[in-house]
């Protein structure tokens, strides 16, 4: 059984790209060459490492076991190739999927808290897309909203925060300790399309007979919050979205919250290298998350 570096590079390219077509383009080979290389790898191992459907390529059980080995082998090849170059750290240390509704200021504080030698590659996407990327090995961990009932050693909660109504710091409602839904009936609103609680929020206002006008509907949370600060409208958002020029106010009966968690792949829990990397993230982030919660307490 003789493995070549090309086998590992081809396998990793397919896992990370998700399709043979994109993987072939990434490493500069034809698709038939790539398919032949993966077929040869599977013959050498004696078991399929990938399953193919019309949309994506997924890891088999054997492929999931091979993935950390292939990555380690590739890192060693990179280290050998760099012996005659200035010393470089392997990059990235970890690929992290992040949902777009994580406040930029929060993400900045979390990343800044990591050791200098810990290098992240961030992949931004929706919950469903990122979870699929985690299960296929295209990312190593996720920072997202914990689902109800989602538990286990691979789920590490960081922060639970309420959703509040954000208004401009000069708004007439500033100073009230608790808003009644009726207080908002005449307000122009801004819709954060990236909000995980969008459907529940809509339902809440509809149940209270409030059908607002919208000055902006956007998936860009920075736009939304800045337009709130400018006085264009008001919006509901997690408390950590607090920024200059806006004030977060609780609404009576609007008891939505979210828990942000670090999520690993349970199928890779036995990989000590990956476990150590994710533990490093959590150990450096849990204290920061607690300070963020304290900073934004209503």
From CA 205, how far away is CA 210, in angstroms rounded?
Answer: 5
Q: Structural domain tally of the chain?
A: 3
Whether cis (ω within 30° of 0) applies to the bond prior to 92 is: yes
pLDDT at residue 4 in the model: 84
Q: Quick one: 196 and 269 in the same domain?
A: no
Q: Quick one: 168 and 153 in the same domain?
A: no
- CATH number, domain of 102, equals 3.40.190.10
Between residues 30 and 228, which one has the greater pLDDT? 228
Residue 192 confidence (pLDDT) above 80 = yes
Q: Quick one: 247 and 188 in the same domain?
A: yes
Q: Quick one: 147 and 285 in the same domain?
A: yes
pLDDT at residue 2 in the model: 74
Q: Flag the least confident range among 22-31, 72-81, 97-106, 124-133.
A: 72-81
Range of the domain at 140: 94-159+259-295
pLDDT digits (tens, 9 = 90+) for 228-261: 999 999 999 999 999 999 999 999 999 999 999 9
From CA 104, how far away is CA 141, in angstroms rounded?
Answer: 19
From CA 239, how far away is CA 6, in angstroms rounded?
Answer: 48
**pTM of the predicted model as reported, rounded to 2 decimal places:** 0.71
From CA 165, how far away is CA 50, in angstroms rounded?
Answer: 47
Residue 111 confidence (pLDDT) above 80 = yes
Specify if 242 maps to a domain.
yes
Mean pLDDT of the chain: 90
Pairing, β 120-124 against β 50-52: unpaired
pLDDT at residue 251 in the model: 97
Structure tokens at 175: 């100073």
């Amino acid at each position: 059984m003789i493995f070549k570096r090309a086998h590992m590079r081809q396998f990793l390219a397919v896992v990370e790209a998700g399709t043979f077509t994109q993987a072939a383009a990434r490493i500069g080979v034809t698709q038939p060459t790539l398919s032949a290389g993966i077929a040869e790898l599977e013959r050498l191992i004696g078991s399929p490492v990938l399953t193919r459907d019309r949309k994506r390529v997924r890891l088999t059980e054997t492929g999931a076991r091979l993935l950390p080995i292939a990555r380690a082998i590739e890192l060693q090849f990179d280290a050998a190739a760099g012996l005659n170059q200035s010393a470089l750290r392997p990059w990235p240390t970890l690929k992290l999927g992040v949902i777009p509704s994580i406040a930029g200021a929060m993400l900045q504080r979390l990343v800044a808290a990591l050791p200098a030698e810990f290098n992240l590659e961030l992949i931004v996407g929706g919950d469903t897309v990122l979870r699929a990327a985690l299960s296929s090995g295209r990312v190593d961990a996720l920072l997202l909203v914990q689902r109800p009932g989602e538990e286990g050693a691979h789920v590490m909660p960081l922060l639970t925060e309420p959703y509040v109504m954000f208004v401009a710091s000069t708004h007439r409602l500033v100073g009230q300790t608790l808003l009644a839904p009726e207080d908002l009936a005449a307000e122009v609103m801004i819709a954060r399309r990236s909000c995980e609680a969008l459907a529940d929020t809509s339902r809440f206002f509809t149940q209270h007979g409030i059908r607002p006008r919208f000055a902006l509907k956007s998936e860009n949370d920075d736009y939304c919050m800045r337009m709130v600060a400018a006085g264009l409208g008001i919006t509901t958002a997690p408390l950590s979205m607090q920024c200059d020029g806006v004030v977060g106010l609780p609404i009576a009966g609007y008891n939505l919250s979210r828990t942000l968690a670090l999520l690993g792949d349970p199928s890779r829990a036995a990989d000590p290298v990956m476990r150590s990397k994710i533990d490093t993230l959590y150990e450096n982030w849990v204290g920061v998350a607690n300070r963020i919660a304290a900073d934004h307490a209503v």
